[in-house]
Structure 1
Amino acid sequence: MSNQFTQPLLTLRRPIKRLVVVTLDLVLSLVAVWASFYLRMDQSGLPLYQQKYVYLLAPFLAFPLFVHFGLYRAIFRYTGMAALANTAKAVGIYGVTFFCLLLLLKLDGVPRSVGLIQPMLFFLLVGSSRAVAKFWLAGWSGRSRHAEGRLLIYGAGEAGVQTASALGAVRQFVLLGFVDDDRTKVGGHINGVDIFCPEDVPEVIDRLGITDILLAIPSLDRSRRNAIIAKLREFPVHIRTLPGMVDLASGRVTVHDFQELDIEDLLGRAPVPPDSDLLARNLAGKTVLVTGAGGSIGSELCRQILLEKPSQLLLVEHNEFGLYTVHRELEGLRAEHGLSVEVVPLLGSVGNLGRLREICRLYHPATVFHAAAYKHVPLVEDNPSEGVLNNIFGTLNTARAAMEGAAESFVLVSTDKAVRPTNVMGATKRMAELVLQAMAASQTVDFGLMDGQVGGEVRNRTVFAMVRFGNVLGSSGSVVPLFRRQVLEGGPLTLTHEKVTRYFMTIPEAAQLVLQAGAMAHGGEVFVLDMGQPVKIMDLAKRIIQLSGLTVRDDHNPDGDIEIRITGLRPGEKLYEELLIGDNPEGTAHERIMKAREDYVPWPEFAPELAMIRLAAERNDEKMIKEILGRHVHGYEQRAEGSAANTVLV
């Protein structure tokens, strides 16, 4: 019944709503005048003597003050303590002015006490009207059958209370309870909402029909957070995490502000902690160049480098929109932190040696991070020539320009797919590593053969290093965005093989490793991260489905929500990935970073092979490309042909 009156009011245009509120306030001011005379003089009839002027004074005084204090800009069902305080200020000033005017005018039949009683009654009436409107309009609509979810908030602390308060202004969720580990809070209430203990969660979910649980404990450490998520995964609820506290404080919380769980929550382990000294060593006060600056890894490198306060940050990217996007973001980050770093966007391809030479000659970068590469396994498998030109010779061009420009350090972003690769992408990345290993081992490097001319020796004063890591969660090519999109579409989740496993890291984690490895390098090292146990992609897919409040549809549960469909391994794809070619990793100054000095071919022997594979790539000779890759990339030769690449377990 109440909804029949509420909905027409909510659908009125804003000017009409304001007119209704103004009219209500003017009527309340007159009611307060009448009530003050009644209380002071027991007068309930028409005004006597000059009392009519009081009835005129009250609304004409109240209206401009209320407008000045913005009381008609507020939306009743979204108002809170701030709006009530504003109302109190307006009525307070109104009351002082009203009392002083009555003293000065000395109207017949108007006691001075009316100047005190009327403002107090007026404040009570106005405040009560706002409160009734808030709970009537927001309360009924917020608990209506149109609510999209029935919510539990995990955490009855400050963040949970702020979230609950903000939820009063939206209709997407019905808040039915809090959950908290603090036994002193259990059994209590927050604004009439019960607080439960974690052990009661299964019964509460079943009894109240909970559809969503919001984690609202931002101070929780990662291990405890993972333990809570692991328990909640057992229940058919959608687990969400808290939006930013600024949005909560401003009251701009809607269903879209509640975020999916962090990538770290899906990973199930704590990220590798960075060493601040290592991060700053090759960055602070220096000119730093990043290739592939618009990509997932490159852009994160740029964000973290910027915060280490280099003198200049050079962004090299061949994609115009990608360069524009990352440059704009970094300029905003620079302004936000008040940094004096000069951020320079540079359009250019790593395949263009002349452009790279020009950049190094103009800006003299001290530190170079090479993140530009083709990384999509099936695409590179179908376009091996482009993979060779971009991944191998893009690396060679960038390293050569850095060496000729006397850069202090050069770090290659590599991949675990370079280890005993079964695909062209991995093989070209390993060849790129071999290029740097050969250059690092030489005091002078002769590029004459590359240029088709005699001479061309360059003295090597650059420290070269490679950083090899696993798949990056949340990048443009990661399975996580794909799985989440497929969940939103109702499935199925597509998986190439039920036994596929991968090493995973987060994008910030990968970027931190690259920066720290560059600082630890002495020349020619391959750095790898102790990433713990590899993750089964099947388990990751199930975890995403469960954390979305859904169930897996399979033979054991034919009535489930989302199917996981096996599509078969793609060309060149492996079931398992590795991080080391050899078995002798060494420790470093960072407890979670290892290094290996792996076999390589000296530059004088390797240069002719590079010239041959470049010629093969320019001629699009796939057979010759794979033959040369097979000669130099350990583990690739026996899988370069045939279908073994699709079935061999490495």
Structure 2
Amino acid sequence: MTYQKRVPLLMLLDSVIVLFSIYVGYFILHPYSNFYSSKLLLVSSLILLVSHHIFAFRYRLYHKAWEYASVGELVTITKAVTFSIVTAAVAQLVGVGQVHIRVLFLTWMLHMLLIGGSRFSWRMYRDRYIKTRNKKARTLIVGAGAGGTTVTRQLLHNNDVELDPVAFVDDDPRKYMLEMYGIKVCGTITDIPKIVKEKRIENIIIAIPSLSKKEVRRIYEICAKTEVEIKIMPLLEDVMTGKIEVSALRNVEVEDLLGREPVELDISSISESITGEKVLVTGAGGSIGSEICRQICKFTPKEIILLGHGEFSIYNIDMELRQEYGEHIGIIPVIADVQDRDKIMEVMEQYRPSVVYHAAAHKHVPLMEANPKEAIKNNIFGTKNVAEAAEAFAVDTFVLVSTDKAVNPPNVMGATKRIAEMIIQNMAKESSTKFVAVRFGNVLGSRGSVIPLFKRQIAAGGPVTITHPDMTRYFMTIPEASRLVIQAGTLAHGGEVFVLDMGEPVKISDLAKNLISLSGFTEEEIGIKYTGIRPGEKMYEELLNENEIQKEQIFPKIHIGKAEPVGASELYHFINTLEHVPLEQVKGMIVEVANSKPKRVVQLIK
């Protein structure tokens, strides 16, 4: 109904209620008092009618969406009715010298009952009849606290959302059998399968935004037994600040089930090192590099140089950052290959960054086993070029993005990354530039990682291919990995290899099973096929070998490894010989050097 039609209709309804209330009040009390004359009744009625409409407009009684009526609207009605009755009382006092309190009090009661009843009856009609007619999906809310009640209220008020909350579950025994918005707390989280069956639940919403990752996983595993759709609400701060909307509910993602909490960072120290500075990111179009750029831009650097070899990927991150930050930050896209030493020197001389994040690398293990020369050129010589250019032009901090595959590497990719670490460790000994490396495990959702592969296989109907049922890996999200890289730059003194405490490693098979379930399928429908370990792969990854372990944390969940580099003269002599080593020998040689002690490297070179 339009505003032009709704207001006159509500005014007419209220006029009838006002007149009805005062006349009924008069006739109820008439046998007990004859002080009310017809003239006084008429005048009081007119004054009450006019004053009611005045106060109704004053408190916007005709502008409320009554289908969402709650305590706030009841307070508004009380104010409008009470002030109109008070006005009539004052008029009586001035006109006849006395106030007929009993008649006015009874009128006030009837007025409140009928005005409030007329408004709230529309909400009841909407909630019961219209909602039933639309056949909304019956929904179970997990959590009867602030998050759960917020979601429930919005679901009840939003007729466009096809979810109908019919029950709560909560582990707080004090809430059992209590009702919020007319919906009962029917049991605890362990009762979910039983309640889903009894209440014919079609959707579950996990509405406890303060949950840890382990608790989310526990609840999800219980909910998954029901085979109904499962959604989760966003962060607690979004709920408490009122940012939460029903549309923000999302499906449970595999990142929610990792079972460990993300690292909290020192925002102030990061801000000090980046705000107002020039920053260069190599591999800026890649999964990690582009996220590093996004995170850096939040701290408003003076300029950010996006260096990458892929034209389209650099175009994408350049356009994205310009749209969001272009007014405040100088964004400079540079198409260049880190293997091109002259070009890298030219870029470094032209822009003179104070911080460099080196994320450009070849990272796919089986591909690098098949193409070892390319891994050497990009991961070793590319790192050497960028690091030496950074030193030549007085960069303050250089951060190398490394990997857990650099620990005891049996493959070319890991070996080249370990040698890249050795390069910057040696440079840190003599340079005024602070050179550091950051190791972390597999990154969920990055290009070439298992998650996109598994999703494509599931979409195609399966099977999901896994190399071995016992294969384990450390995992983290792209934003978390990127933040760790940035934090490492603020902690650096030079020569460190920073390592994140990534908790317990995750079985790839468990990851696949969770992803199949999250996609709405069973293992019988999709299936898992074990293909055998590929060349260069390890059954499990390590973040530090036994000689590198240092228990003390320099920052919550961040360790410094004691990785011992090969001496500079031996290392650079070895690197220079790589260009002349036959292809059939280079693979074994580089892996042995990456795993060897300095003395053994000298023997290998000879």
CA drift of 1:137 comes to 1.0
Higher relative contact order (CA 8 A, sep 6+): 1
- For 2:590 and 2:231, how far apart are their aligned partners in 1? 48
Matched, 1:270 2:237: no
Say if 1:244 and 1:516 are closer, same or farther in 2 by CA, change over 3 A.
closer
What is the total number of aligned residue pairs between the two structures?
A: 570
The residue aligned with 2:474 is: 503
From 618, 622, 632, the counterpart of 2:590: 632
- For 1:68 and 1:626, how far apart are their aligned partners in 2? 88
> What amino acid is the match of 2:315?
E
Q: Deviations over 1:537-591 (max 9, x none)?
A: 221122234456x56232xxxxxxx413438579867363533696421315436
Residues 361-400 of structure 1: pairs in structure 2 closer than 5 A: 361=349, 364-375=352-363, 391-400=379-388
Conserved in 1, the CA contact under 8 Å of 2:287 and 2:478?
Answer: yes
Q: What TM-score do the two structures reach when normalised by structure 1?
A: 0.70
Q: Deviations over 1:338-391 (max 9, x none)?
A: xxxx64322113526667556644664333222234545677789888766654
- For 2:585 and 2:283, how far apart are their aligned partners in 1? 29
Matched, 1:135 2:124: yes
> What amino acid is the match of 2:258?
L
CA drift of 1:605 comes to 1.8
Say if 1:292 and 1:123 are closer, same or farther in 2 by CA, change over 3 A.
farther
Say if 1:429 and 1:249 are closer, same or farther in 2 by CA, change over 3 A.
closer
CA drift of 1:476 comes to 5.4
Say if 1:533 and 1:112 are closer, same or farther in 2 by CA, change over 3 A.
closer
From 457, 461, 464, the counterpart of 1:494: 464
**Between structures 1 and 2, the one with greater helix share:** 2
The residue aligned with 2:33 is: none
Matched, 1:467 2:438: yes
- For 2:67 and 2:495, how far apart are their aligned partners in 1? 65
Residues 237-252 of structure 1: pairs in structure 2 closer than 5 A: 237-244=228-235, 246=238
Conserved in 1, the CA contact under 8 Å of 2:209 and 2:234?
Answer: no
Residues 245-394 of structure 1: pairs in structure 2 closer than 5 A: 246=238, 253-254=245-246, 256-261=247-252, 265-272=256-263, 274=265, 288-293=279-284, 295-302=286-293, 312=302, 314-318=304-308, 319-326=314-321, 328-329=323-324, 343-351=329-337, 357=345, 360-361=348-349, 364-375=352-363, 391-394=379-382
- For 1:91 and 1:466, how far apart are their aligned partners in 2? 71
Secondary structure of the 1:461 match is: coil
Say if 1:244 and 1:539 are closer, same or farther in 2 by CA, change over 3 A.
closer
Conserved in 1, the CA contact under 8 Å of 2:407 and 2:414?
Answer: yes
Q: Deviations over 1:139-181 (max 9, x none)?
A: 3344557223431x23222222222222212442232322222
Structure 1 vs Structure 2: percent identity of aligned residues? 35
Secondary structure of the 1:268 match is: coil
CA drift of 1:68 comes to 6.8
Secondary structure of the 1:240 match is: strand
From 395, 402, 427, the counterpart of 1:407: 395
Matched, 1:608 2:583: no
Q: Deviations over 1:448-475 (max 9, x none)?
A: xxxxxxxxxxxx4223222222111244
The residue aligned with 2:522 is: 552
> What amino acid is the match of 2:330?
V
- For 2:487 and 2:24, how far apart are their aligned partners in 1? 79
The residue aligned with 2:311 is: none
Conserved in 2, the CA contact under 8 Å of 1:88 and 1:123?
Answer: yes
- For 1:56 and 1:154, how far apart are their aligned partners in 2? 53
From 67, 70, 79, the counterpart of 1:77: 67
- For 1:304 and 1:277, how far apart are their aligned partners in 2? 14
The residue aligned with 1:642 is: none
> What amino acid is the match of 2:179?
H
The residue aligned with 1:585 is: 548
Say if 1:31 and 1:145 are closer, same or farther in 2 by CA, change over 3 A.
closer
Q: Deviations over 1:606-641 (max 9, x none)?
A: 56357x48xxxxxxxxx977764554344999xxxx
> What amino acid is the match of 2:173?
R
CA drift of 1:301 comes to 3.8
CA drift of 1:73 comes to 5.4
Secondary structure of the 1:132 match is: helix
Secondary structure of the 1:586 match is: coil
- For 2:281 and 2:80, how far apart are their aligned partners in 1? 57
- For 1:383 and 1:99, how far apart are their aligned partners in 2? 95
CA drift of 1:533 comes to 3.8
User: Aligned-residue CA RMSD in angstroms?
Assistant: 4.8
Q: Deviations over 1:255-312 (max 9, x none)?
A: x4222336553112334555679867855786544334565433544565567x6864
Q: Deviations over 1:294-332 (max 9, x none)?
A: 65433544565567x686463424412312324555689
Conserved in 1, the CA contact under 8 Å of 2:516 and 2:523?
Answer: no
CA drift of 1:423 comes to 7.0
Matched, 1:32 2:18: yes
- For 2:215 and 2:92, how far apart are their aligned partners in 1? 65
Conserved in 1, the CA contact under 8 Å of 2:397 and 2:489?
Answer: yes
Conserved in 1, the CA contact under 8 Å of 2:357 and 2:400?
Answer: yes
Q: What TM-score do the two structures reach when normalised by structure 2?
A: 0.75
Give unmatched runs, 5+ long, in structure 1. 1-13, 333-341, 444-459, 555-561, 614-622, 638-650
The residue aligned with 1:188 is: 178
From 168, 182, 195, the counterpart of 1:204: 195
The residue aligned with 2:227 is: 236
Matched, 1:172 2:159: no
- For 1:608 and 1:521, how far apart are their aligned partners in 2? 29
> What amino acid is the match of 2:126?
L
> What amino acid is the match of 1:154?
V
- For 1:541 and 1:72, how far apart are their aligned partners in 2? 56
Higher mean alpha-carbon deviation, 406-415 vs 323-332, is at 323-332
Give unmatched runs, 5+ long, in structure 2. 31-36, 309-313, 596-606
Q: Deviations over 1:186-241 (max 9, x none)?
A: 23333332222345334323322334433333334555555444544444344432
Say if 1:193 and 1:34 are closer, same or farther in 2 by CA, change over 3 A.
closer
CA drift of 1:83 comes to 4.1
Say if 1:229 and 1:22 are closer, same or farther in 2 by CA, change over 3 A.
same
Higher mean alpha-carbon deviation, 171-180 vs 407-416, is at 171-180
Conserved in 2, the CA contact under 8 Å of 1:469 and 1:510?
Answer: yes
CA drift of 1:183 comes to 1.9
Q: Deviations over 1:404-428 (max 9, x none)?
A: 2212321111223445767775565
From 527, 531, 543, the counterpart of 2:514: 543
Conserved in 1, the CA contact under 8 Å of 2:468 and 2:532?
Answer: no
From 512, 527, 535, the counterpart of 1:564: 527
